[in-house]
Amino acid sequence: MTRTVTLVLVVHDHQPVGNFDGVFAAAYEDAYEPFLGFLETHPTLRLALHTSGPLLQWIALHHSDYLRRLRALVERDQVEVWGGGFFEPILPAIPEPDRRGQVRAMADWLELELGSRPRGAWLAERVWEPGLASSLAAAGVEYTAVDDAHFVAAGFERDALWGHYLTEDQGLSLKLFPIHRELRYRVPFEEPERTIELLRRVAEGGEGRIAVLGDDGEKFGVWPGTKRRCYEEGWLQRWAERLAENPWIELLTPAEAVARHAPLGLAYLPTASYHEMEEWALPPAAQERYRRAADRLEEDFGEDAHDLLRGGHWRNFQARYPESNRLHKRMLRASRALWHRAEEGDACWREARTRLWRAQCNCAYWHGVFGGLYLPHLRAALYRDLIGVETHLSGGEPRVECSDLDLDGDLDAVLECEASAAWVSTRGARLWAFDDRRALTNYGDTLSRRPEAYHRRLREAAVGGGAGESIHAAIRLKEPGLAELAGAYDARGRDSFLDRWWEGGGSHDWALERFEPRGRGSREIVLGALEGEAPSLEKRFALAPDGALEVTYTLGSSRARSGTLEVELNLGLHVPSADDRYVEIDGGPAEPPHFAARARHEGVTRAAFVDRYADRSLVISTDASATLERAPIETVSLSEAGAERVFQGVEVRFSFAAAIAPGAPWRLRFRLLPGRAEPCR
């Protein structure tokens, strides 16, 4: 007779802050609502359900009946609600007050709306760091789930992981469930009988064992081919039938499992996430070595090959992607300032805190098999909330702060006023963010084209296909030609005011040089580079009273020189082609007008980038005429549906003829004015 085995299911449903309403709606129709309906008709299928805060808020607004139905399942003890950080942050990457605050806010919401205060918490991307145990315990969490890979990294044998463990930090204790890789890979991609076979082997291994399946609810309808597999082809129904036919499999909620089963012991886990995340966090060359090593080890160790390797960890994404790092460090800066002036009785302060927490949603900070950081609408949403917090904190008075704001080793300056903020680095005297505080948009929100490990595999990929496979399977292409597009990379990033001097058939690039600070006021900072193979260059960044950013160039030389100054701006405009988003040149419509167009214009002194849909515009004017060239910034990235082209913004290059006489510097001024959309004249 087969021994009894406990099966614990934890389903995690999530949509990020800033995702398109249509994506929320499609995921609801394809996965969340059908799965809820499936649970309603299968009362013996008992599990824990975590729904992230952004998704809960969307459901409450659009499908409040879903919450009523879910509450009924909670009240009949079929579903145990799990909490976590409300806006799905990577908890170790945010400050302690925000960790506890987000977890408690989620628990309060669930208790109010669903009548049950959660005891368990889902960890976004199962990112674990040892100090997290005390943060969770202090916030009222009793248990969480991490991958079995976390335990294996600590030296545990996989066969010792059929249960739960205790860990602690600073004397505060937390229970840990290991999520079993074998179950995660089988459901729903293999036939239900394969799951039963696995559980039978687990049961035969000893008494009182617990098998845990914790994974994304999107695999039950959102991932490619899974809607057909789970519902139209009846996979979920067959799975429920097989479980019911085998009464030695006891489906318990996590709360019931910890009540019935004693902990297996004490465990101290290293910083870790699931194997795929640790691989994605590595730079491309390291990912290639990781894959080659895993392939060799699989000959001897099979599926356990990855247990012998360690990849990177989640924080590595901030080292790999400056765009992620800058967003993260601005978030930390805002959090410190907000909690330093904590006024929880003030409605404006509480609104700013909510904005801060929304800006901590994890998805736009990293990239793996999902678009994440590569999706401009996700980044823009975080910037919208972050700029809102910074505006609340600034007080409206003009000021300049100088320090290493993004902690990359180079001095930065932020120039702030009520209407705008400019973020400047001494590396290249470049502008890496320019915020319109009325429209809550960062015109510097672009993304560099850089190597990714999967780019080498694009030539082997096929257009379409792969339905019903795990999203970790072979790459699919959403359109042909992506391999060629992916081969172009940006050596100096996609910031603005990247400068090059052309003279006598040669050129000098200032973009990677370190400029020296030469002056600072309440509205300005001056940075300079000495003469060498190029003229000396001094750049003055200043905020005008109307919120315009004025950038004044001064070129000097000890000898007569004649050449061309090329200034590159990269603008975070994220809609490639629409009738209500267009370019104006010197007061008239550009040809072609849309943002993604390639074009060259002569004798330009004014260019406007207009978004009438969002009622905003950015006008760039110069006091000398220029040749202006514009082109789309496009990247190739992965999403769950395959590799895709993503429009990241507009490259705008200005070229000026410059003649310099000894003792007679050549000067140029840019003026960037954010404002409302004006009709095309």
Q: Among all residues, which ones are annotated catalytic?
A: 125, 216
> H or E stretch including 652?
strand 642-660
- Read off the amino acid at residue 418: E
Cβ neighbourhood burial of 452 (10 Å; 0-12, 13-18, 19+): buried
Instruction: For residue 358, report the phi and psi dihedrals to the nearest 5 degrees.
Output: -65, -40
CA distances from 95 to 99, 173, 510, 607 (A): 6, 20, 36, 41
Residue count of the chain: 681
Q: What is the DSSP string of 125-147?
A: GG-B-TTHHHHHHHTT--EEEEE
Q: Which two tokens stand for residue 76?
A: 């009949």
Instruction: For residue 195, report the phi and psi dihedrals to the nearest 5 degrees.
Output: -65, -45
Does residue 245 sit in helix, strand or coil?
coil
Longest dimension (CA), the chain: 97
**Measured distance CA(128)–CA(503) in Å, rounded:** 54
Cβ contact 613:647 at 8 Å:
no
**Measured distance CA(352)–CA(334) in Å, rounded:** 10
Tokens 């990269």, located at residue? 570
Burial 285-320 (b: 16+ CB within 10 A, else e): eebeebeeebeebeeeeeeebbbebbbbbbbbbbeb
CA quadruple 357, 361, 365, 368: dihedral, nearest 10: 170
Tokens 């470049």, located at residue? 430
Cβ contact 307:152 at 8 Å:
yes
Q: What is the DSSP string of 289-314?
A: HHHHHHHHHHHHHGGGGGGG-----T
Q: What is the DSSP string of 401-465?
A: EEE-TT-SSS-EEEEE-SSEEEEEETBTTEEEEEEETTTTEETT--------GGGGGGGG-EES-
Positive or negative CA dihedral for 592, 593, 598, 600?
positive
CA distances from 630 to 37, 47, 164, 578, 619 (A): 51, 54, 58, 17, 15
Cβ neighbourhood burial of 531 (10 Å; 0-12, 13-18, 19+): middle
CA quadruple 408, 544, 439, 648: dihedral, nearest 10: -50
Residue spans of beta strands (DSSP E) within 301-350: none
